[in-house]
Amino acid sequence: MMQALALRWRKWKQPSLMRRLLLAQMAVVALLWTMAIALLLYDSYEDPELLKYQKIFHTITVIAENLADRPDRQQETLAAFDQVLVEASGDGDAAADTAAVLQVWQKDRLIYRSTAGVPVILNTVPNRIETVTAGGREWRARTHVSANSDTRVMLAEPSVWRLTVTMAYRGYYLLPLVISLPFLVFPAWLSMRVALRPWRQVTKETSERGPADMTPLSYTPPHKELQPLVQSINSLLQRVRDSTSRERSLIADAAHELRTPLAAMRVNVEALKEQSTDEGQRELMGNLLRSNDRAARLVGQLLQLMRSDAVLHGDLPVMLSLDALVQDRLAMIEGLASTRGVELELECEGNVPVLGERESLVSMIDNLINNAIKYSPANGRVLVKVASESARAVLTVADQGPGIPPALRERVFDRFFRNPDQTQSGSGLGLAIVKSVVDRHGGEVVLEEAEGGGLLVTVRLPLAAAEAPQPMLSL
Amino acid sequence: MNLLLVEDDLDLGNGVRIALANQGMDVVWVRRLGDALRTLDGGTFDMVLLDLGLPDGDGLELLFRLRRDKQILPVLVLSARDALDDRLRSLDDGADDYLVKPFALAELLSRVRALARRSYGFNDETIRMRGLALHEPTRGVIVDGEPVELSRCEFDLLALLLKRTGRVVTRRVMEEQVLPGGQANGSNSLEVHISNLRKKIGQGYIRTVRGIGYVIDVQSLVRSTPK
């Protein structure tokens, strides 16, 4: 549980381009909003709305002058108008600290004031918004003087609280922004995810390919950001492919060139051996020939390995009948088996079609059978079976030799690895070739102990679905 | 037997020349394609042993010219190229056999003899093997001096095995080439025919390789007379 959490945390902590984009977007949005709010606040601080309207002052002046002869009506009307002003500008509560204050003088006598709690506020200059201190507080105040200078109307708003008042008053501007901030993150995340789909496709394709697959990526995104990435991946793959194929052809060429001197060595020693009657000399020449055999086999296997490893193989896979192919190869190799006194036997179970490269499969079968013959005791038997089981073609080769200890069964597939206890000569390439061919064909190879102690090799290949395999060539 | 050996490698060419000469064959050894073409024009040969990678051209060139001139001179290709394509191409171009380097001397000698036998129809198209003699044109078979009556299938099977002496002939090839109706003819009929054939010619000739095919061994010829 803790481990899962820790893993999740580590995963979350890992830097992500997506998160960078999201954070950057959010930062930009937040910055814009801050600027908008600042502008709004600055604007309202400069000139409180209420004090800007000349009409308000004019109306109050008219009320005060027209009702000057009826003081009770005058008081009543001014109070009603004051109430309207308070409601329009602030939160509507006349008793609140934030409420605007109205004071009216007529003939230098104070005839109306909103509240007695606020002392008389006097502007120095008429019709200008000024900051005035009165009753221990700062006010933004403006005084309007009528044409005949009889009536003065003063409106003031507390300056300290104005920010809050404006915020509350302009709340409807800000609220959607504040509410939408979290909602903006999700669509942004979603849209980025959708927009980054080609990216994920490239990632998927690169991660899904096998180690030997050096073909260019099949998906070439048209996008400006991704195209260079895919192009450089492809050109890297191309370079790796070129260098491996150069290496491979160098090895193949070298192996090839070795064949003629090996043949020359062999023919000369054989001719010499025929002329010689000295038993000791003949034995030595026999040793020479055996070494020559080993070198020749190694050269042959190197060539097979280079061929079966080739990334771009010239051969197209063809429909083959595995049972017929195995029968052909066994017939070819039977001569070797009978000179060694080893009996070969094949058990086939109907037609086993396989889609594959003929030459690779031939070298796989040859190596399996040659190994089995090599490690078989005299008068031993090598039993080969070809069958099909649930969409797989199965080839098994069982011998009566010493087998391979379980601990070494994985390592014997490594190139040039040889069982240290083993007395037979060998190159250590045979099973590596088998493995390479099997891998190329999408199959698997398993080593087990055969009944009676020998080695049992089981190769499973995908079964082809075709009806009629093409006729085989016996060469 | 006159042989033309075309091989550019000094040691290999010389070795093969000496080894074949030891077997009583007359070998002319040349190292270039041009020399080979001139030598062929100048003399009569029974067979050509041809290396493919020559310094002044591909050995297949010589093969091509021989076949163009309708010469039936048998050609045994000796090559380091062992890929199936190379073999097929050589055989398509008219080579009679193909031997991949490095080869055993015994193998070379047996192929040379087999080619000579095949191309010159030694003994009037009669194939002889131990006590067996098979004459294809008359479809006659003689075992230890006594003529034996064989059915059509039995004769074809014996001919097939004798032509490939020492090599296993797969069941599939036998079924396809000899049995009427091919493989569809029931799985036992091949065994039945072989069994009948053995009864008529004796048990010692045909060896069964289980599941794979049948073979008439050469070695038994050397070891002992048939039982």
pLDDT tens digits along A225-279: 788 888 898 999 899 888 888 888 888 888 888 988 999 999 999 989 888 889 9
B17 contact residues in A (CB cutoff 8 A): none
pLDDT tens digits along B160-188: 888 887 788 998 888 888 876 655 555 56
| H helices, E strands: number in chain A | 13, 12
Q: How confident is the model at residue B227 (pLDDT cuts 50, 70, 90)?
A: very low
Residues B104-125: what's their mean pLDDT? 75
- pLDDT surpasses 90 at A213: no
Residue of chain A whose Cα is closest to the Cα of B83: A359
What is the identity of the amino acid at A17?
L
Q: Which fold has domain B2-120?
A: Rossmann fold (3.40.50)
- pLDDT surpasses 90 at A394: yes
Q: For A49-88, give one letter per residue: b (16+ CB within 10 A) or e.
A: ebbeeeebbeebbebbbebeeeeeebeebbeebbeebbee
- B154, B193 Cβ separation under 8 angstroms: yes
Q: Quick check: B212 contacting A, CB < 8 Å?
A: yes
- pLDDT surpasses 50 at A475: no
Per-residue pLDDT, A165:
54
Among candidates B11, B84, B212 on the partner chain, residue whose Cβ is nearest the Cβ of A344: B212
- B86, B95 Cβ separation under 8 angstroms: no
Q: Quick check: B107 contacting A, CB < 8 Å?
A: no
Residues B111-135: what's their mean pLDDT? 74
- pLDDT surpasses 50 at A198: yes
Mean pLDDT value across chain A: 82
Residues A327-338: what's their mean pLDDT? 89
Per-residue pLDDT, B31:
92
Give the least confident one: A46-55, A71-80, B172-181, B205-214: A46-55
A291 contact residues in B (CB cutoff 8 A): none
Per-residue pLDDT, A172:
62
Per-residue pLDDT, B224:
36
- pLDDT surpasses 90 at A396: yes
Per-residue pLDDT, A473:
45
pLDDT tens digits along A344-375: 999 988 889 998 888 889 889 999 999 999 88
Residues A25-36: what's their mean pLDDT? 83
Tell me which residue of A149, A109, A60, A96 sits closest to A120, measured CA to CA.
Answer: A109
Tell me which residue of B204, B208, B132 sits closest to B169, measured CA to CA.
Answer: B208
Among candidates B9, B16, B172 on the partner chain, residue whose Cβ is nearest the Cβ of A327: B172
Among candidates A263, A346, A475 on the partner chain, residue whose Cβ is nearest the Cβ of B211: A346
| C-alpha atoms less than 13 angstroms from C-alpha of A143 in its C-beta half-sphere | 20
Q: Distance from B18 to chain A by nearest Cα, in Å? A: 7
Residues B58-80: what's their mean pLDDT? 85
Where residue B39 falls (left for φ over 0; alpha for ψ -120 to 50; beta otherwise) is alpha
Task: Tell me the two tokens of residue A91.
Answer: 């939160």
A327 contact residues in B (CB cutoff 8 A): 170-172, 211-213
Question: Max alpha carbon distance in chain B (Å)?
Answer: 57
| All domains in chain A, ordered by first residue | 2-46+171-195 (no CATH), 49-169 (3.30.450), 230-312 (1.10.287.130), 316-462 (3.30.565.10)
- pLDDT surpasses 60 at B155: yes
Q: What is the dihedral of CA A286, A292, A293, A299, to 10 degrees?
A: 180
**Element at A105 (helix H, strand E):** strand A101-106
Q: At what angle do helices B152-163 and B189-201 cross, to 10 degrees?
A: 80
Q: How confident is the model at residue B84 (pLDDT cuts 50, 70, 90)?
A: confident
Q: Quick check: B105 contacting A, CB < 8 Å?
A: yes
- Boundaries of every domain in chain B: 2-120, 125-223
- A122, A132 Cβ separation under 8 angstroms: yes
Specify the long-range contacts of residues B29-34, CB closer than 8 Å, at least 24 apart.
B29/B5, B30/B4, B30/B5, B30/B6, B31/B6, B31/B7, B31/B55, B32/B8, B32/B56, B33/B6, B33/B57, B33/B58, B33/B59, B33/B61, B33/B62
Per-residue pLDDT, A387:
93
Specify the long-range contacts of residues B88-91, CB closer than 8 Å, at least 24 apart.
B88/A473, B88/A475, B89/B60, B90/B52, B90/B60, B90/B63
Q: Quick check: B166 contacting A, CB < 8 Å?
A: yes
Per-residue pLDDT, B164:
80
Per-residue pLDDT, A164:
56
Per-residue pLDDT, A468:
47
ipTM greater than 0.85, yes or no? no
What is the residue-wise DSSP string for A310-358?
-SS-SSPPEEEEHHHHHHHHHHHHHHHHHHTT-EEEEEE-S--EEEE-H
pLDDT tens digits along A420-467: 777 777 778 889 889 988 988 889 999 999 888 889 999 999 988 755
Question: Is-cis flag, bond preceding B102, omega within 30?
Answer: yes
Distance CA A263, CA A292 (A): 9
Q: Which fold has domain B125-223?
A: Arc Repressor Mutant, subunit A (1.10.10)
- pLDDT surpasses 70 at A89: no
- B209, A334 Cβ separation under 8 angstroms: yes
Among candidates A256, A267, A358 on the partner chain, residue whose Cβ is nearest the Cβ of B19: A267
DSSP A454: S
- pLDDT surpasses 70 at B87: yes
A165 or A310, which is more confident?
A310
Q: Distance from B147 to chain A by nearest Cα, in Å? A: 30
Per-residue pLDDT, B138:
84
- pLDDT surpasses 80 at B2: yes
